[in-house]
Amino acid sequence: MKRNVAIVGGGQTYHAARRHDVDQVEMVNEAVRRALDDAGMTIDEIDTVFLGNMEFFEGVHMTDCWLVHGTGAYGKPGLKITTGGTVGATTVCVGAHHIASGLFDKALCIGFEKQEEGDTGAILSGVAHPLWGRSLAGAAVGYFATMGSSYMATWGATEEHSAMVAVKARQNARKNPYAHLKLDITIEDALNSRMLSYPIRMLDMCPASNGACAMVLADEKTAKKRCKKPVWIRAMDTAHNEQFELDWRFVDTKRPIFSKVCAARMYKKLGVKKPAEYFDVFEVYEPATWAELIWYEDLGLCGPGEGFRLVEKGMTNIDGPIPVNPSGGVLSTNCIGASAMLRVWEAALQIRGDAGGHQVPKDVRRALTTGYGGTNWTVMTALSKTLDD
């Protein structure tokens, strides 16, 4: 990028299954106000506004237009982005490109979903091709069920490993005041929760949350002048799998796959050899427990088939050597349009040392985040504390 871009502020709503007290405009505005407060800016100082959201989830066409008074986009340049589960991270990319272009100095990026206003399962089934895939579609649960079965059959993991991820996420969420599912659960609770589609049980899956996240990005000069703890965006990359790449998560596939291809490009850009050592914390997009284990492997934090060993040994716990999702992750909070942005914002909080109860107990200088959506798509973002890191 031609200019350095920093995160100079951010904010999120408290996430919940029901937000009857607010409409979409008001909910988004909560996150926007928190982000502006955090950045010490007023909306008048913002040059441009970007909104990421999936219009089908709420059944409102052109939400960016409706929400202008909540987002602050009225009278300003801006765009709406719609790329599925990755959209929150894509929106950050869009903001970063605008700042880097030199045409804008301060950008507000917003992601949100108010899932209670639609039927998430039905809408996710609508992801599948109308002719070839839709009659088979089992929404997200069906997809992750094949992933879990394939993972266990191939690598010898058990349902207990999935339960360990489920417990880690919800116990971390208890330390995060904004998280949706702050559950004090045990492995037994997870293993005894209701079966949705073998091997996916209720507690192996993310919730359908209402919530929003907003971030203020700025150029280097503004960031250094206005922000005590700017967090720098060091690299971004996007990779999709096309819809008929129907491995449906054949976990030991040798073919190039979105996650590994994207990680390899990120590491090349940054000169990373050992990601588990290079990055101090990871925030990954795990709509289901098994996805987190596969992220460990695809990000190269361990070898293929070793992901479940990492969680077994507690390596990815909040106080472990490779903390993954100290925020509680998507398993604890999933407001789809915001989820990928929440990964970036939570990683930024860790770098700033402002994560509060879920701050990892070590010096955090670098972080890596992933988004996950579409038919196996990701957007990765690498952050650092200083421009030397």
Partner 1 sequence: MVDRVAIVGIAQTKFAPKRADVSYGEMAYEVIEAVLRQTGLKMDKDIDNSISCSHDIWDGQTISDIGITDVIGGHLRNEEKMALDGSTAVYYGTIGILSGEFECTLLMAHTKMSQTNRNIVNNDAFDPIYTRLLGFDYTSAAALQARRYMYKYGVTPEQIARVVVKNLANAKKNPVAHQSGDFTVADVLSSPLVASPIRKLDIAPDTDGAVAMILASEKRARQIKKNPVWIKGIGTCYDAYYLGDRDLAGVFALEKAAAQAYRMAGIKNPRRQIDVAEVGDDFSYQELLWMEGLGLCDRGAAGRMVESGATEIKGKLPVNPSGGLLGGVPINVYGLNRVAEAALQVMGQAGDHQVSKDVKVAVAQGHSGFCGQHQCVVVLGKE
Side chain identity at residue 361, one-letter code? P
Distance CA 137, CA 129 (A): 9
Nearer to partner 1, 98 or 170 (CB): 98
Which of 198, 186, 193, 179 is closest to 331 using CA atoms? Answer: 179
Q: Of the listed pieces 50-58, 179-187, 291-299, 314-322, which binds partner 1 according to CB under 8 A?
A: 50-58
CB of 91 to partner 1, least distance (A): 10
Nearer to partner 1, 233 or 251 (CB): 233
CB 274 within 8 A of CB 268: no
Of residues 225 through 284, those in contact with partner 1 by CB under 8 A are 236-245, 256, 258, 261
CA distances from 49 to 65, 92, 108, 223, 294 (A): 12, 11, 5, 17, 34
Among 35, 124, 147, 163, binds partner 1 (CB under 8 A): 124
Nearer to partner 1, 97 or 309 (CB): 97
Site membership for partner 1, residue 26 (CB under 8 A): no
How many residues interact with partner 1 (rule CB under 8 A)? 65
Of residues 196 through 225, those in contact with partner 1 by CB under 8 A are none
CB of 301 to partner 1, least distance (A): 21
CB of 105 to partner 1, least distance (A): 14
Nearer to partner 1, 96 or 302 (CB): 96
Nearer to partner 1, 189 or 220 (CB): 220
The secondary structure element, H or E, covering residue 340 is helix 336-352
Q: Of the listed pieces 7-15, 29-37, 48-56, 161-169, which binds partner 1 according to CB under 8 A?
A: 48-56
Which residues are within 8 A (CB) of 151 and not within 5 positions of it... i.e. 6 or more apart?
157, 249, 251, 290, 293, 294, 308
Nearer to partner 1, 156 or 256 (CB): 256
CB 170 within 8 A of CB 182: yes
Taking the chain, what is the end-to-end CA distance rounded to the nearest angstrom? 17
Distance CA 14, CA 27 (A): 10
Distance CA 38, CA 43 (A): 12
Q: Fill in the per-residue mask, 321 to 360: x = in contact with partner 1 (CB under 8 A), - = not in contact.
A: ----------------------------------------
Which residues are within 8 A (CB) of 305 and not within 5 positions of it... i.e. 6 or more apart?
154, 155, 156, 251, 252, 297
Nearer to partner 1, 63 or 317 (CB): 63
Residue pointed to by tokens 């106080």:
319
Which residues are within 8 A (CB) of 6 and not within 5 positions of it... i.e. 6 or more apart?
217, 218, 219, 220, 223, 227, 230, 231, 232, 233
Nearer to partner 1, 103 or 136 (CB): 103
Nearer to partner 1, 13 or 376 (CB): 376
Of residues 59 through 118, those in contact with partner 1 by CB under 8 A are 59-62, 64-69, 73-84, 90, 93-94, 96-103, 117
Site membership for partner 1, residue 55 (CB under 8 A): yes
CB of 210 to partner 1, least distance (A): 15
Nearer to partner 1, 1 or 195 (CB): 1
CB of 308 to partner 1, least distance (A): 26
User: Strand pairing partners for 373?
Assistant: 377
Residue 15 is classified by DSSP as: P
Token digits of residue 223: 């960031």
Among 28, 32, 123, 218, binds partner 1 (CB under 8 A): 123
Distance CA 341, CA 332 (A): 15
Among 18, 20, 21, 130, binds partner 1 (CB under 8 A): 130
CB 229 within 8 A of CB 352: yes
Q: Of the listed pieces 123-131, 153-161, 169-177, 197-205, which binds partner 1 according to CB under 8 A?
A: 123-131
The footprint of partner 1 (CB under 8 A) covers 1-3, 23, 49, 54-56, 59-62, 64-69, 73-84, 90, 93-94, 96-103, 117, 123-124, 126-127, 129-131, 236-245, 256, 258, 261, 373-375
